[in-house]
Amino acid sequence: MSSQAGIDVQAHIETLIHEFRTSDPLMPVIVLHAEESAQDERVGKLVEELRAGQEAHGSRLAVPPKAPREAAEPVRAAHLVRKLGEPGRWDSPGALYRRYAFPRLRLVRAIEEAVRELDRDGPPPSPTTPDAEREQEQRLLDQLAKQRWRPGAGSRWRVGPSLFDTAHVLPASVVAGLAVLLASVDLWVALAAVLGILALLTALNYWLPGRAPIFLWLRRESRWFLTTTFLLPVSGQQPSEVRLLHPFRSWRAIAARANEVADSVREGGQAQLQLHVLALLEDLRDNHRRRSWDLRGLKRIRPPMLFLPGADEQGGGFALIKAVSDVRSVRSELDPLLLVASVAKDQVRLLDQHHSAHPVQQAAQLSDGLRDGIRRAHQEWEHGLRAGQSPSRSGEVPWELRIALPTEDLRRLEEQRRWCTRAPSRPALARLVWSLPVFSLAGLLIVGSLGYSWWDLRSRYCSAGVLTANHDTELVEGVGGTDECVGIATGGVRFADEGRTGTADAGTAGSAVPWTLGQLEDRIHAENARIERSHQGSYVTVVYAGPLSGSPEDGGRPPVKGSEELAGVYLAQVVINRRNKVKLRVLPANGGIDMSRQKTMADRIATYAEKDPTVVGVIGLGRDLKTSLATAERLVEAGLPVVSGTNSAAYLPRQAPNWFSLAAPDNWQADQLGILVRQLRTPGNPQYAAVLARNTRGSDDLYTDEQAYYGGRMLKREGFLTKELRYQVNVGTASLENQVEKLCEQGEPPSVIYFAGRAEDVGPLMSELTSRCGDRRIAVITGDDLSKADFERGEPVAQKVTLYHASLADLETPADGTLFYANAEKFLPGLGGKDASHTSPFLRNGQTALSHDATQALYEAASRSRSQKPQRPVAEGASRGPSREPQNRATTWVNLRTVRLKNMATGTIDFTNAPVYGDRAGHGIALVRVRKGDDGAVVSTKLCGRPAGDSRPLTGKDCDITTPDTPE
């Protein structure tokens, strides 16, 4: 500073700035003038020096431009305020935080420009009727709509500000946040939702016909416009109602208020000026609000300053000073603006006629200098401010702190004495913590954390969003390194969903079934949704547990077994739900390729059952593995009974009390096959036989070992000299060259081979027997897994080999008395007019029929009435009547031992004599012969059989191997 007066004024200003860091001090309108008119120029220069010093200190400040001299004084002052609404005018080197924003002042300017546009040819006449008043208001609203309620002709095409308008970002962010947290959508879906909603809102905001932008009532300037009480004197009306959640009511209030403001703008004068000043001060107050989302008030540690060097009446400076004082006297909020003006000595009197504050020089006489005089004058101004705002003192400018600068203090100082103070400028903690770099780092960390969470959840679960996942299924590494989706399908999980489960649902591998796994899952899901929506409290839930993952060797297509069994479950569901009061809900569960992950699946089923009391039991588990007993025991812990259609393990009913199976056990099957073997034995001569079995080392397959054990025991009992050979399966193909070579090249080749393998291994076996055993006649005996083989569709049979196998069920005998096939034609997808019968290639292996009957049996136990007699038979399709009610899993388990259902697809399902920890009687079975006919075609002939529920033993007479070929 070049003078002592400047140093002292600067020191006082810095004192106010220092207080501003931690509080909201009263900011006066500091008016500087000299004691002598000759020093007016020096006072103006002092204000310029103050401005330059504050700019160097990093204060945000502005100097209004020159106003047109030909206009009236309030109009000139309003012009100054409008120019102050340009954010660039407040830029200063070193200023902290971002630019100021003036949305309220811009709204007032928009209304003013709309009025000027409408009154271009002259002001409209005063409305004399309500219709004329409404028409005038409508014209104003239409003009504002053209301007999009923004000042400036080119604002319509400024897409950027509208795109990042809080009124747009807020609803878009809320929708996207709810989508992420509640709907568990993918991260890219959430981001696409945000961008899409923003783009849609922007497009609607600019091109949708209407009188206002979308979400106008949510803008902060609109809320201020509706709630400020300063505008009430304009019309004398009561405040408009403000309801942020009522857009139409708020819109009507905004329209009415805009019309009032337009009237005041047309009137001009002090009302127009004070409205501009009010908007400016409110914007500045909002720009320094400490309790804001960005803590901008804590980052801007210096108040905004407005400098008016050489203020006079002609330039509008006096009107601006008075308007600032008037607005502050009327409104209740403090604003941070510090206004510093210099006034010529002979024009001071024009500010007011009877200013009674003590001159500074009188206060200085009681102190040691000007600085103390300024401080005392400031204290007296604060003490007298309340009285100065009273109506009786209307001739004064109460917020003005007038300082008369003595001549001796305005003299130029020597160079070495030019110094001034500065308030501490250490950045606030909020500036360091709540800042863009910290936000950017935090944003990167959050995005990285969300990305890692999304990647982690997506790598562990089949259905996952950014923060949540469906824990009822999980991804596990399967054969060939592909991911398998294992668990129970709830929510939107589909095991036929390509890319997530390793299952491409383009048909079922190597099968004649006309439906796809995806069709079945979609129909089951739709049926479940209908039940959950309309039959709450009147349904039970069963879980189908089977192999629903496709093997990479089959192109990822679903396996035959899983698709066929699930079809039977769905068929039972749809029939039950259309004929019974208690409904059936079905949840598919996947145990992985060949049920290799059935223990994990059982854990997911048990966990889900704890949350859902409607789950009453499990259907399926049709593959005998080393983990089968542990799986059954896990379900015992959950209190869930299991009704299996195809699992022929003999040990499970003896060791698992919850196990109920429709398939004949392996030991009993081997005994029935012994009836045929006995006819192949030549009495009195030694005869050789062999057991050819898969090598199960390193695998969970227990079915092969059981078949090999019981088959070998049966051969020895029938008098054969028996040895056992094991073969390997490499990359899904059985390698039988060495084993068949040993059998065929020995001195006494075996006449009977008990094949303890899978249906897919029969082709390689027949090829090796054809090439290595020549014309030797060999009988191959095997278990029920050969029911899945389709010999008529390409499975080879050697010319001199006769194949005998057990079938899962005898479907022929009960076919005429069951509704199963009629219902299949009606409800199963993909049949397309095909006939459904026990000879249909997609039904004859019994997989679908057995799972259908197992579902019917479990439902029967889960829907019994407590008063119902336990021995009462219930025919398929019979109405259960109003006495039926859903049962819990405990009573379902108990009721299973009372179930007896006639006319099922496989016969009569009877658990009434099933002992706990023991074998039951009455399993269905069929013994089938497969060989080439004279014409070279493969012929399958059922030698004998009995339906489920029939306990009569089979005999050699019933199962005569000399029976002529009668194709099934």
Convert the pLDDT of each residue in 305-347 to its tens digit. Answer: 999 999 988 888 899 999 999 899 887 778 999 999 999 998 8
Average pLDDT on 537-541 reads 94
Asked whether the predicted pLDDT for residue 777 surpasses 80, the reply is yes
Whether 659 and 653 have beta carbons less than 8 Å apart is answered as: yes
Residue 784 DSSP label? G
Asked whether the predicted pLDDT for residue 413 surpasses 90, the reply is no
- Which among 90, 66, 77 has a CA at the least distance from the CA of 317? 77
pLDDT of res. 614: 96
How do residues 345-400 score in pLDDT, each as one tens digit?
988 888 875 444 444 444 334 345 788 889 898 988 888 887 666 554 556 788 98
Return left, alpha or beta for 269; rule: phi > 0 is left, psi -120 to 50 is alpha, else beta.
Answer: left
Which helix (H) or strand (E) segment holds residue 278: the answer is helix 269-287
Asked whether the predicted pLDDT for residue 234 surpasses 50, the reply is no
With cut-offs at 50, 70 and 90, classify the pLDDT of residue 501. Answer: very low
- Both structure tokens of 688: 């050789």
pLDDT of res. 690: 94
Query: If you average pLDDT over each of 45-54, 392-401, 783-792, which comes out highest?
Result: 45-54
pLDDT of res. 97: 82
Average pLDDT on 417-430 reads 66
Asked whether the predicted pLDDT for residue 800 surpasses 90, the reply is no
Cβ within 8 Å of residue 397, ≥6 positions away: 29, 321, 322, 325, 351, 352, 355
The HSE-up count of residue 101 (CA atoms within 13 Å, CB side) is 13
Average pLDDT on 801-817 reads 93
Q: Which of these ranges, 144-153, 270-279, 492-501, 532-541, has the smallest mean pLDDT?
A: 492-501
Average pLDDT on 430-453 reads 81
Could you tell me which residues are beta bridge partners of residue 62?
306
Asked whether the predicted pLDDT for residue 143 surpasses 70, the reply is yes
d(CA 11, CA 57): 13
- Both structure tokens of 523: 């129909």
**Amino acid residing at 898:** T
d(CA 500, CA 604): 18
Query: If you average pLDDT over each of 244-253, 255-264, 488-497, which comes out highest?
Result: 488-497
Return left, alpha or beta for 832; rule: phi > 0 is left, psi -120 to 50 is alpha, else beta.
Answer: left
Asked whether the predicted pLDDT for residue 775 surpasses 80, the reply is no
Asked whether the predicted pLDDT for residue 504 surpasses 50, the reply is no
**Amino acid residing at 551:** S
Q: Which of these ranges, 35-39, 420-424, 535-539, has the smallest mean pLDDT?
A: 420-424
pLDDT of res. 480: 64
d(CA 632, CA 163): 59
- Which among 231, 406, 301, 286 has a CA at the least distance from the CA of 23? 301
How do residues 881-896 score in pLDDT, each as one tens digit?
446 789 999 999 999 9
- Which among 320, 283, 309 has a CA at the least distance from the CA of 90? 283
pLDDT of res. 215: 67
Between residues 356 and 145, which one has the greater pLDDT?
A: 145
- Both structure tokens of 851: 């799972």
**Amino acid residing at 244:** L
The HSE-up count of residue 786 (CA atoms within 13 Å, CB side) is 30
Pairing of β 900-904 and β 907-910? antiparallel
- Both structure tokens of 51: 């401005």
- Both structure tokens of 273: 């000026």
| Strands in 629-757 per DSSP E | 642-644, 659-661, 688-694, 721-730, 733-735, 752-756
Asked whether the predicted pLDDT for residue 716 surpasses 90, the reply is yes
For the chain, give the percent of residues with pLDDT over 90.
Answer: 42
d(CA 744, CA 721): 15
d(CA 622, CA 598): 11
**Amino acid residing at 206:** Y
Asked whether the predicted pLDDT for residue 184 surpasses 70, the reply is no
Between residues 561 and 947, which one has the greater pLDDT?
A: 947
With cut-offs at 50, 70 and 90, classify the pLDDT of residue 692. Answer: very high
Cβ within 8 Å of residue 46, ≥6 positions away: 1, 2, 3, 5, 6, 9, 32, 342, 405, 410
d(CA 133, CA 127): 5
What pTM does this model have? 0.67
d(CA 769, CA 748): 15
- Both structure tokens of 320: 């601006």
Between residues 843 and 271, which one has the greater pLDDT?
A: 843
pLDDT of res. 429: 67
Q: Rounded to whole angstroms, what are the CA distances from 585 to 532, 577, 859, 862?
A: 8, 9, 10, 12
Q: Torsion angle of alpha carbons 578, 582, 587, 591, nearest 10°?
A: -110
d(CA 742, CA 680): 22
- Which among 848, 953, 861 has a CA at the least distance from the CA of 904? 848
Asked whether the predicted pLDDT for residue 868 surpasses 70, the reply is no
How do residues 79-131 score in pLDDT, each as one tens digit?
889 889 888 889 888 787 888 999 999 988 988 888 888 887 667 777 767 77
pLDDT of res. 946: 95
Q: Rounded to whole angstroms, what are the CA distances from 33 to 258, 312, 343, 449?
A: 41, 12, 5, 62
Within its chain, how far is the Cα of 222 from the centroid?
Answer: 33
321, with CB counted inside 10 A (0-12, 13-18, 19+), is buried
d(CA 679, CA 185): 65
SS3 content of the chain, % helix, strand, coil (to 5): 45, 15, 40
- Both structure tokens of 627: 């983990």
pLDDT of res. 252: 75
Q: Mean pLDDT in the chain?
A: 83
Asked whether the predicted pLDDT for residue 178 surpasses 70, the reply is no
Range 830-843 burial, b when 16+ CB lie within 10 A, else e: ebeeeebebebebb
Whether 660 and 911 have beta carbons less than 8 Å apart is answered as: yes
pLDDT of res. 566: 96
Asked whether the predicted pLDDT for residue 610 surpasses 90, the reply is yes
φ/ψ (deg, to 5) at 714: -65, -40
pLDDT of res. 204: 63
pLDDT of res. 498: 43
d(CA 393, CA 818): 105
Whether 243 and 236 have beta carbons less than 8 Å apart is answered as: no
Cβ within 8 Å of residue 603, ≥6 positions away: 634
Could you tell me the strand order of the sheet in which 688-694 lies? 733-735, 721-730, 688-694, 752-756, 778-782, 801-807, 925-932, 938-946
The HSE-up count of residue 80 (CA atoms within 13 Å, CB side) is 31
| Count of helices and strands (H, E) across the chain | 31, 22
Average pLDDT on 260-267 reads 81
pLDDT of res. 865: 65
Q: Which of these ranges, 71-80, 346-355, 573-582, has the smallest mean pLDDT?
A: 346-355
Between residues 479 and 100, which one has the greater pLDDT?
A: 100
Asked whether the predicted pLDDT for residue 159 surpasses 70, the reply is no
- Which among 779, 735, 790, 731 has a CA at the least distance from the CA of 757? 735
Asked whether the predicted pLDDT for residue 5 surpasses 70, the reply is yes
Local structure of 421: helix, strand or coil:
coil
With cut-offs at 50, 70 and 90, classify the pLDDT of residue 640. Answer: very high
Residue 412 DSSP label? B
pLDDT of res. 557: 59
Give the CA angle between residues 39, 43, 48 to the nearest 5°.
145
Asked whether the predicted pLDDT for residue 291 surpasses 90, the reply is no
